[in-house]
Structure 1
Amino acid sequence: RLCMSAAASAASQTFGMDRGLTNSLSEVPFTKCIILAGTNIAECQPTIMPYFEKAKQNGAYIIAVDPRETATTKMADLHLKVKPGMDAALANGLLKVIIEEDFTDEAFIRERANGYNEVKEYVTSLKLEEIAEMTGVPSDQIQKAAAMFGKEESGMIFTARGVEQQTDGSATVRNFLNILIVTGKIGKVNSGYGAITGQGNGQGAREHGQKADQLPGYRMIENEEHRLHIARIWGIDEADLPRKGVSAYEMIEKINEGEITGMFLMCSNPIVSNPNANFVKKALKKLKFLVAVDMFVSETARLADLILPTSSYLEDEGTMTNLEGRVTLREASFSLPGEVKHDWQIICDIAKALGKGEHFSFQSAKEIFEELRVASRGGTADYYGITYDRLRKEGGILWPCPSIDHKGTKRLFETSFAHQDGKAAMVVVNNVPLVPKEQPCTDFPLYLTTGRIMSHYLTGVQTRKSSSLSARNFESFMEIHPETAKKYHIPDNTLVKIESRRGSIVVRSKWSATIRHDTIFVPFHWADSQNVNHLVSQDLDPTCKMPGFKVSAVKVHPIVELTSN
């Protein structure tokens, strides 16, 4: 809910299914034009950066959408320095130019898409000058980006948290998918969509039920046919399956209201990772019982009544599914130390203690995967044809893979989309989102946006314990344009207080001439008095329940006012 839900919901609604990449990574170096929307690959996912560098070497034209200049935007041919929160409107500007300048693929639209006429009617009614003013991107840059993407024979669009972690993140991604559809750049060689995943198994997790409305194989918990299928495999009565639950932040609200009184927390640190973090901490303290399963005593685990030590990366065995949908097998390198257990063993032991051990009688990760193969069979994310033996021989297999002799699916949607009628579903995305975003005002005059840096990972529970990584960034910081800093009397490299309507933090200033004048940036890896999520609103995307991490209104001032003699 805090990472992939916007992209997953958008792809499911548009294409009928969601896989991180519709193509394999091997096609990226050969595409002719790439749009990187809200993704800083060079610093956040550097292991896939060579694919994009190779594309650049091969002559691809790269367009980056980001309020900041980053190591990724420096690679781009065109940097659209968008105002925070205005990505959907920018996509409308690109669509307007593509349609009015006749860069569309009319045959593809006619044969393989629904909703085009409504989208065309809306975007052609807009004025490009007004979009330029709304987004902060000059109209000539919008025209150039649209023309470069529209006229090339192949193209790919990649999105990440920059456009997804907003209260209209799902709709924004859908609008970028509209661009792919009108240009016919989907389901073809070297053309498609990619949601850049921030975690090694982020794709696999969301395929197999780690959202409160899902069941394994991308089956849905409210679908009666899906419920019966899974109930049969699990050997339970369908009526014993729960109904749809609530999202991550909504769980915190229900804890605060007293509706949830106990929590089992596995390798998560919501006190740092969730928005409105002060409220989250107060709510978790109301729990009658909190169990934390983790390798470290995180900020949240400090509140736990019981901490269960779990295994590390090198001690684990099991499958992972990467951002392109490739299932791989990772063998364990070390045995378990002391009383440490694997996550799956802890779950099985708890099930046994609760009197449900017969449903959790697994003796290995492989046995669990064998059940998953059967449970996913016939579903959207079909793993049935994937086995440990095949993974050891072949190295990795892209799903869907419905049978043992199936080679896996390298490219989705070549002949049809996954909706019942085989067509993609375009949708009108309004310039003004349903959930209003905070705007700068007299009291809070600046935009705050957040993100990652190379040396740290997620809430920093692991990386902040590494002396070498901490030496690179031992404290949080605020990027601010020098002219903006001077306006608010903030010297470079000094402690500064940042305040929003929800709280305040203290970080060190870092002048950057490459960020927008109206925007500051703070990374999210630090806790306590440097936890930027103290400042972020609890407002959620109505479609996918993603918090709006990327847009907050704040004010800044130095801790110590400097005076001249």
Structure 2
Amino acid sequence: MTELLLKYFRTKQQKVESEKLFDTQCPFCSMQCKMTLVEQSIVSRKKYLTLGKENPTSEGRLCIKGMNAHQHTVNKERLKYPMLKVNGEFVRISWEEALQQIKENFTRIQEKDGQNALAVYGSASITNEEAYLLGKFARVALKTKNIDYNGRLCMSAAATAANQTFGMDRGFTNSLSEIPFTRCIILAGTNIAECQPTMMPYFEKAKENGAYIIAIDPRETATTKMADLHLKLKPGTDAALANGLLKVMIEENYMDKVFIKERATGYEKVKDHVMSLNLDDIEEITGVPCKQIRKAAILFGREESGMIFTARGVEQQTDGVLAVRNYLNILVSTGKIGKPHSGYAAITGQGNGQGAREHGQKADQLPGYRSIENEDHRAYIARVWGINKDELPGKGVSAYEMMEKIDEGEITGLFLMCSNPIVSNPNAEFVQKALKKLKFFVAVDLFVSETARLADLILPTSSYLEDEGTMTNVEGRVTLREASYPCPGEVKHDWQILCEIAKVLGQGEYFSFSSAEEIFTELRMASRGGMADYYGITYERIRKEGGILWPCPDSDHKGTKRLFETSFAHEHGKAAMVVVQNEPVIQKDQVNDEFPLYLTTGRVMSHYLTGVQTRKSSALAARNVEAFMEIHPTTARRYHISDQSLVKIESRRGSIVVRSKWSETIRQDTVFVPFHWADSQNVNLLVSNELDPDCRMPGFKVSAVRVSPVMDFHK
């Protein structure tokens, strides 16, 4: 009898409960952690569990975002059908109707306003295949020069600096596995503990092995707490601080003279410049005491190995390129590059921030990190695509400049893929007003984002669980994101959407792909011989090897773990050092009596970018339900602001209202607001439209503001 009952209950349980496993990788930060989603069906509901999966980069670790990433995928607000705006309201239409709308409107716009009146705005969160295809779509299907992407607001300064100094940009010049064995580490403007938490164990291992860590940040963060020395500089003064560090290193004779002679240009001019500077002046500019500058310089200079890491704190400035180049001056002059446990690392922000900029989304680039203005590069890509090189459009404008062209009426139609420029761009109120001027606006997204609200047509796209493809992570490792979760409703993949639009526009012969792997095969050929050479990488190899570091020029190549061991990527084989002034050419927002405080921005651990996905996750949203302003208590009292009270922040561009958060660990002349929230809490409403002259990066990290209380619940 007992055996029969057990059999009955076991059979009943099997009928009402099933379990499915879905291998994937996290859709958020650039670590791209591998994981498995376990979906359990219990009676009429589903339960989910996320497990970390062993891999070369994060070694099976997950953070709070990765563990809850599935929540936005199964959120009830997911877009499932094409939606057309009719009389101000979105109504469901068929894909056939949606494609016809695009054909009619895009054709009308280009016939009346010109070929370049259509623009494409992409994303650094889409796969390599989709980034590649989007660039091809703009230039072949639409024949427009105007394409750029949200990575312009994230990694462009570091990429430009690396290209100018080394002749090549791969984010990391070394692999993550070298970090634990370096002797001294500089973390400049990066909060790894909150932005890339699964990377932290590499630094913890380095400390266990005796490494000395120097953190440079206006705030005390979970990352600076790990450091042995924290240089709490004024926002926007990294270039001057690097000059001070370099001056001390030269004075103390820590230069690698043999390395400089054999492998660098421009050193003598840099030396003459920094030696003419006064360290007391640099203390005045940066707010960092001379004693600390000297200590940091000596500690880094005297060690046999060292690494410098930069992120948005340094890069999102109007002199971001030069600030990064000055840190690279330090590496080159001390010979700490191209050697074991020594090198540079730009901490990529977005999930595919590296790969998305390598294959054609940027206004000035073609696949393989080729230049759109180089005739040989144009000819090669034209052959791969089967078109005449004269048919390829020229260089377009950067992401924010695209908004200016829309405002001026030069761009009248926009195709937006998986980005939210109203929240992510500077001078956000202007961006919103500009987008409202478009004659026809198509948005591709998972949800009706703040920007998608303004669209005429929204197309539903697949999530990370549903969309297979390669991604290139923080260390330049090309990984394969498996995806077998079923798409809801009539959702399509980004690449499918592009192929179908190209077909109705009469360009289907160039977009006859039936899988992501087919697109990758063409991408491999397009990248062959380029700086970012993926030719030797295949889906089969990635599955077998767990990811491959590019460049990988052929199938026998194991991938490149360390760059610049024998030469740099310039034609002359040397690194190019450059003189960097203490003060930027483009003046940053100036504090004065009217706007007396510096505002800087950044992330919190539980959210990602503009929050479109993470704010749809109940577990993540609950951890940070609203934006906040971090302010020193002394400063708060000066402006009559209580802790946890509503405060108005005003700049020369606009104002927002957020809740105050007292912190003893931030500079007294600085306030901090995260950038994951929209509408009245969108911190980018306060940010200037001034751009770095080299990479067109906005100066997100430095804005002059004033603060005042709105409401005090403690009274």
Which TM-score tier does this pair reach, normalised by the shorter chain? over 0.9
Q: Work out which of the residue numbers 537, 549, 565 in structure 1 matches 2:700.
A: 549
Query: What is the CA-CA distance between 1:439 and the residue it aligns to?
Result: 1.7
Tell me whether 1:131 sits opposite 2:259 in the alignment: no
User: How far is 1:329 from its partner?
Assistant: 1.1
Partner SS for 1:313? coil
Q: 1:193 & 1:563 partners in 2: Cα distance?
A: 48
* Structure 2 equivalent of residue 122 of structure 1: 273
Matched residue SS, 1:110: helix
TM (normalized to structure 1)?
Answer: 0.99
Matched, 1:194 2:345: yes
**Aligned partners of 2:156, 2:615: CA distance in 1, in Å?**
27
Match of 2:711, SS state, is coil
CA distance in 1, matches of 2:201, 2:713: 46
Residue 442 of structure 2 is matched in structure 1 by 291
Aligned to 2:253: 102
Q: Deviations over 1:420-442 (max 9, x none)?
A: 01000000000110100112101
Counterpart amino acid of residue 194 in structure 2: E
Q: 1:7–1:563: structure 2 CA closer, same or farther, 3 Å change rule?
A: closer
Report what 1:532 is aligned to: 683
Aligned residue number for residue 179 of structure 2: 28
TM-score (norm 2): 0.78
**Aligned counterpart in structure 1 of residue 576 of structure 2, from 416, 425, 432:** 425
Tell me how far apart the structure 2 counterparts of residues 49 and 285 of structure 1 sit (CA, whole Å): 43
Partner of 2:639: 488
2:331 pairs with 1:175:
no
Q: Deviation digits for residues 438-458 of structure 1, max 9, x if unmatched?
A: 121011000000000011110
- Which amino acid is the alignment partner of residue 171 of structure 1? L
CA distance in 2, matches of 1:337, 1:496: 41
Q: Give the aligned partner of residue 309 of structure 1.
A: 460
Pick from 538, 548, 566 the counterpart of residue 387 of structure 1. Answer: 538
Do structure 1's residue 414 and structure 2's residue 562 form an aligned pair?
no
Select the residue among 211, 224, 228 that pairs with 2:379.
228
**Which residue number corresponds to residue 510 of structure 2?**
359
Paired positions, count? 564
Superposed counterparts of 1:59-458, under 5 Å? 59-458=210-609
Counterpart of 1:49 in structure 2 is 200
Alignment match of 1:459 (pick from 593, 606, 610): 610
The one-letter amino acid of 1:124's match is: M
Query: Which residue of structure 2 lines up, in the alignment, with residue 510 of structure 1?
Result: 661
RMSD between aligned alpha carbons?
1.0
SS at match of 1:559: strand
Are 2:665 and 1:523 equivalent residues in the alignment? no
Name the SS of the counterpart of 2:336 in structure 1: coil
What is the Cα deviation at residue 333 of structure 1? 2.8
Q: Which residue matches 1:17?
A: 168
The alpha-carbon deviation at position 335 of structure 1 amounts to: 2.4
What stretches of structure 2 of length at least 5 have no aligned partner?
1-151
- Taking a change above 3 Å as real, the CA distance of residues 562 and 301 of structure 1, as seen in their structure-2 partners, is closer
After superposing the two structures, state which structure 1 stretch, 320-329 or 333-342, moved more: 333-342
Q: Distance in 1 between matches of 2:543 and 2:194?
A: 31
Rounded Cα–Cα distance in structure 2 between residues aligned with 1:329 and 1:500: 44
Secondary structure of the residue aligned to 2:153 is coil
The 8 Å contact of residues 645 and 713 in structure 2, kept in 1 or not, is answered as no
In 1, are the aligned partners of 2:645 and 2:712 still within 8 Å (CA)? no
User: C-alpha distance in 2, partners of 1:405/1:329?
Assistant: 19
Distance 1:538 1:151 in 2: 41
The one-letter amino acid of 1:209's match is G
Structure 2 partner of 1:469: 620
Find the aligned partners of 1:506 and 1:134 in 2 and give their Cα distance.
30
For 2:476 and 2:350, the matched residues in 1 are separated by 13
For residue 323 of structure 1, report the CA deviation from its aligned partner: 1.2
The one-letter amino acid paired with 2:327 is F
CA distance in structure 2 between the aligned counterparts of 1:453 and 1:150, rounded to whole angstroms: 33
Instruction: State the one-letter code of the partner of 1:243.
Output: G
Q: Distance in 1 between matches of 2:713 and 2:330?
A: 50
**Matched position secondary structure for 2:354:** helix
Q: CA deviation at 1:562?
A: 9.3
Which has the higher Rg, Structure 1 or Structure 2? 2
- SS of the aligned residue for 2:194 comes to helix
Judged with a 3 Å threshold, the aligned counterparts in structure 2 of structure 1 residues 563 and 193 are, in CA distance, closer, same or farther, namely closer
- 8 Å CA contact retained: 2:691, 2:698: yes
Instruction: Output the CA distance in 2 between the equivalents of 1:259 and 1:495.
Output: 41
Deviation at 1:395, TM superposition (A): 1.1
Q: Supply the distance in 2 between the matched residues of 1:446 and 1:561 (Cα, whole angstroms).
A: 21
> Post-superposition shift, 1:199?
1.6
SS of the aligned residue for 2:610 comes to coil
For residues 438 and 3 of structure 1, what CA distance do their matches in structure 2 show?
A: 19
Distance in 1, matches of 2:270 and 2:331, equals 13
Q: Cα distance, 1:563 vs. partner?
A: 11
Q: Distance in 2 between the 1:446 and 1:305 partners?
A: 40
2:244 corresponds to which letter in structure 1? G
**AA matched with 1:100:** E
2-structure distance, mates of 1:512, 1:240: 57
In 1: Cα distance, 2:583 partner to 2:351 partner: 34
Partner of 1:478: 629
The answer for the alignment partner of 1:37 in structure 2 is 188
Letter in 2 for 1:351: A
**CA spacing shift, 1:412–1:259, aligned 2, 3 Å:** same
**Residue 525 of structure 2: SS of its match in structure 1?**
helix
Distance (Å, rounded) in 1 between the aligned partners of 2:355 and 2:422: 25
SS of match in other structure, 1:21: coil
Structure 1 unaligned runs (5+)? none
Deviation at 1:337, TM superposition (A): 2.3
